[in-house]
């Protein structure tokens, strides 16, 4: 009998028994809602209420995305998750030369307060939790959201949601960075401090392993490199003068859920245990909420196939089940057609219905951590934990997560794994249904959602009108204040908010910061 191996590379035995579980299990488990949180951050988990059902959406104009948000809320979505287009993610306005051809393509274009008003028109921001997948300019999009809430009469203290704001993984896996690492970390710390005082219920960062997993990372690599980045953010915040218990309770994480159901459950349990120990023992956090690893999960986009796309419905259901059994706090399920294009309205609704079936038709929510004590699950949780801890140690052999990034360590490890996986798929050793096994000769026709190319021209026209109608002198004074704060030590978010309120654009504020901090260029060795 051939030996199966986990995604992280260790062998999986055909049968597990008591001898496969190391002594001291009770201490490693704890109770649900208690240190080390292996069994979940809350005592009742889903027995009191299910996870938050988010659906990631955003495309074209703010008007189109607003319409989709209303549809999702009417269908039962509990929280919104905003996708921004590439120019917005990179801090460029829609009329910038580098934005040409990308406006509204992979998300919604947000250039100014006017766009953010439209995006959330008719949506009461004190009643909905909003997650925004944005990193380098994350603080600016949060400020725009806060300004819209103020216009609605909603107190900032009532706002709940998350900004991704995880710049370190951009240097590893995605590339939507703007500034060099040091000022980028300063901006993250400024956001922690600002939200502590101004938006206390907001999750100030979603430290992301998802994009590393999509780039090819194994489960062990995903949590190791993510937690190492988390440790770097904690250190940066402490060095900026913040007490760990002032900001750590608002940290959150973002992971993938693959079709390898059992290892994914073990990964989530191991990640909680490692983080609790690091926060308590290394950083001296005293507040139990600082020890809790709370996370959002998205099903694995990289595992979706353009061939026989309806099969993705099954993949997404299995992935979502793994996230739920692993104890996620919120979940996005991908549309079955996302390997082809942005999801259609029907695909988005089916993705949400997948979560609703898991939450309301199965018994997944009846009990907390049903795999606790399983010989296999406890052995695998220990193995994933040990592999991740070894990788974390290797990261910090470089001195810091940033130093390891600059040396190309994490990126190189992930690329090696991705290459090995691609070879296994090409050879047929790794089965992908509909791609290298169980194929069909003729695919059924499919009509994808298409983004109107006229959107870019319309967005440029709106920007021209905004610049013509606003008070240009007020904008210049506000941007000068942003420049002065960036060159000094003041929190950048306060003058940035005033600039955005004066109708400065996201691109103009980012350009001002580029003047002071420069733009990051990766070493050629990358």
User: Chain-wide mean pLDDT for the chain?
Assistant: 95
Output the six-digit token pair for 68. Answer: 């989709």
For residue 142, what pLDDT band results from cuts at 50, 70 and 90? very high
pLDDT of residue 454: 87
pLDDT in tens, 79-127: 888 999 999 999 999 999 999 999 998 899 999 999 999 999 999 999 9
Q: Is the pLDDT of residue 526 over 50?
A: no
Gap between the Cα atoms of 64 and 69, Å rounded: 9
Residues whose CB falls within 8 Å of the CB of residue 476, separated by 6 or more in sequence, listed in order: none
Which residue in this structure is represented by tokens 């983080």?
275
Gap between the Cα atoms of 20 and 22, Å rounded: 6
Cβ-based neighbour number of residue 356 at 10 Å: 15
Angle between helices 493-501 and 472-487 (to 10 degrees): 170
Q: Could you check whether the bond before residue 222 is cis, i.e. omega within 30 degrees of 0?
A: no
Q: Is the pLDDT of residue 525 over 50?
A: no
- Average pLDDT over every residue of 438-461: 84
Cβ-based neighbour number of residue 44 at 10 Å: 11
Gap between the Cα atoms of 230 and 234, Å rounded: 6
CA angle 83–342–107, rounded 5-degree value: 25
pLDDT in tens, 290-347: 999 999 999 999 999 999 999 999 999 999 999 999 999 999 999 999 998 878 889 9
pLDDT in tens, 13-44: 999 999 999 999 999 999 999 999 999 999 99
pLDDT in tens, 239-262: 999 999 999 999 999 999 999 999
Q: Is the pLDDT of residue 207 over 80?
A: yes
The full length of the chain comes to 526
Biggest alpha carbon distance in the chain? 76
The SS3 assignment for 513 reads: helix
pLDDT of residue 310: 95
| Spatial CA neighbour of 141 closest among 202, 68, 77, 78 | 202
Q: Is the pLDDT of residue 447 over 80?
A: no
Structural domains of the chain sorted by starting position, each given as residue range(s) with its CATH number in brackets? 18-394+411-427 (3.20.20.240), 453-517 (no CATH)
Gap between the Cα atoms of 105 and 102, Å rounded: 5
For strand 52-57 and strand 330-332, is the pairing parallel, antiparallel, or unpaired?
parallel
Residues whose CB falls within 8 Å of the CB of residue 67, separated by 6 or more in sequence, listed in order: none
Cβ-based neighbour number of residue 416 at 10 Å: 12
Gap between the Cα atoms of 362 and 215, Å rounded: 32
Gap between the Cα atoms of 443 and 347, Å rounded: 18
**Cα within 13 Å of Cα(244), Cβ side:** 20
For residue 449, what pLDDT band results from cuts at 50, 70 and 90? low
The SS3 assignment for 225 reads: helix
Residues whose CB falls within 8 Å of the CB of residue 294, separated by 6 or more in sequence, listed in order: 41, 203, 251, 252, 253, 329
pLDDT in tens, 382-428: 999 999 999 999 999 999 999 999 999 999 999 999 999 999 999 99
pTM value > 0.85: yes
Gap between the Cα atoms of 89 and 104, Å rounded: 11
* CA 349 from centre of chain: 21
Phi, psi angles (nearest 5°) of residue 20: -85, -10
Residue 260 DSSP class: -
- Average pLDDT over every residue of 360-389: 98
Phi, psi angles (nearest 5°) of residue 12: -110, 120
pLDDT in tens, 488-517: 999 999 999 999 999 999 999 999 999 999
Q: Is the pLDDT of residue 271 over 90?
A: yes
- Percent above pLDDT 70 for the chain: 98
Lowest mean pLDDT among 9-13, 74-78, 166-170, 479-483: 74-78
Which residue in this structure is represented by tokens 């509909």?
434
The SS3 assignment for 374 reads: coil
């Amino acid at each position: 009998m051939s030996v199966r191996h986990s995604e992280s590379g260790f062998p999986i035995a055909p049968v597990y028994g008591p001898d496969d579980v190391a002594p001291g299990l009770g201490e490693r488990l704890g109770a649900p809602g208690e240190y080390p949180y292996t069994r979940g951050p809350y005592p009742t988990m889903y027995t009191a209420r299910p996870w938050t059902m988010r659906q990631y959406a955003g495309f074209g104009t703010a008007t189109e995305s607003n319409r989709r948000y209303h549809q999702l809320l009417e269908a039962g979505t509990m929280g919104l998750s905003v996708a921004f287009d590439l120019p917005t993610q990179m801090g460029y306005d829609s009329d910038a030369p580098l934005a040409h051809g990308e406006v509204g393509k992979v998300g919604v274009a947000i250039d100014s307060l006017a766009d953010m008003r439209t995006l959330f028109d008719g949506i009461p921001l004190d009643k909905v939790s909003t997650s925004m997948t944005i990193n380098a300019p994350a603080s600016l999009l949060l400020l725009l959201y806060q300004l819209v809430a103020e216009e609605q009469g909603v107190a900032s203290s009532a706002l709940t949601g998350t900004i991704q704001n995880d710049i370190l993984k951009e240097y590893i896996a995605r590339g939507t960075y703007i500034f060099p690492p040091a000022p980028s970390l300063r901006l993250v710390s400024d956001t922690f401090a600002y939200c502590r005082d101004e938006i206390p219920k907001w999750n100030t960062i979603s430290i992301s392993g998802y994009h590393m997993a999509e780039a090819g990372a194994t489960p062990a690599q995903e949590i190791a490199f993510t937690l190492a980045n988390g440790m770097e953010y904690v250190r940066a915040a402490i060095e900026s003068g913040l007490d760990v218990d002032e900001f750590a309770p608002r940290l959150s994480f973002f992971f993938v859920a693959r079709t390898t159901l059992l290892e994914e459950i073990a990964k989530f349990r191991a990640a909680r245990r490692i983080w609790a120990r690091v926060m308590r023992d290394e950083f001296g956090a005293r507040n139990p909420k600082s020890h809790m690893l709370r996370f959002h999960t998205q099903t694995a986009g990289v595992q979706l196939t353009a061939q026989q796309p309806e099969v993705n419905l099954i993949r997404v259901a299995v992935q979502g089940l793994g996230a739920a059994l692993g104890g996620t706090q919120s979940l996005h399920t991908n549309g079955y057609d996302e390997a082809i294009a942005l999801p259609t309205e029907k695909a988005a609704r089916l993705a949400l219905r997948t979560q609703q079936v898991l939450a309301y038709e199965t018994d997944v929510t009846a009990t907390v951590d049903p795999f606790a004590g399983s010989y296999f699950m406890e052995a695998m949780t220990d193995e994933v934990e040990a592999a991740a801890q070894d990788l974390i140690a290797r990261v910090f052999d470089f001195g810091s997560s940033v130093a390891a990034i600059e040396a190309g360590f994490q990126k190189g490890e992930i690329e090696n794994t991705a290459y090995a996986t691609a070879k296994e798929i090409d050879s047929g050793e790794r089965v992908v249904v509909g791609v290298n096994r169980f194929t069909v000769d003729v695919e059924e026709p499919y009509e994808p959602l298409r983004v109107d190319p006229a959107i870019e021209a319309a967005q440029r026209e709106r920007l021209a009108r905004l610049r013509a109608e606003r008070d240009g002198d007020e904008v210049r004074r506000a941007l000068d204040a942003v420049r002065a704060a960036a060159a000094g030590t003041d929190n950048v978010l306060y003058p940035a908010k005033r600039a955005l309120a004066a109708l400065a654009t996201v691109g103009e504020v980012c350009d001002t910061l580029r003047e002071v901090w420069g733009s990051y260029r990766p070493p050629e060795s990358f």
